[in-house]
Amino acid sequence: MSKRPHRVADVGCGTGSFAVRLARAGHNVVGVDPSAEMLRFARSRPGPELVRWIDGDATDLPDEAFDSAIMSGHAFQNLLTGCGPRAGQLRNQHPL
């Protein structure tokens, strides 16, 4: 396994606990979530400056490459409820 920092997209980051943990471990993390309330909480926890927060969904991620993308908790359900075509768009827009 590589020891270098990874560029990680945390899709559906919610309150940001995992995003901040990854950032504290030295990774470059972008957290994206459609809930302004969740992001407000994420920004209030210790270490919010370590993560780039985006109010939106996966299609709002910056147009740059990521080493990995994660979806923890219940975030994946968003791809199953009317967002199916967006999964293909995301894959083409942000290849891993």
C-alpha closest to that of 94 among 69, 65, 67:
65
Using CB atoms within 10 Å of the CB of residue 83, give its burial: 0 to 12 exposed, 13 to 18 middle, 19+ buried: middle
Would the CA dihedral through 51, 38, 45, 87 be positive or negative?
Answer: negative
The whole model's pTM is what?
0.77
pLDDT at 24 (0 to 100)? 96
As given in the structure block, the two tokens for residue 17 are: 């606990």
Q: How confident is the model at residue 4 (pLDDT cuts 50, 70, 90)?
A: confident
Q: In what order do the strands lie in the sheet with 7-11?
A: 51-55, 28-33, 7-11, 68-70
Q: What is the per-residue pLDDT across 26-40, written as a single tens digit (0 to 9) for each?
A: 999 999 999 999 999
Overall average pLDDT of the 51-79 stretch: 84
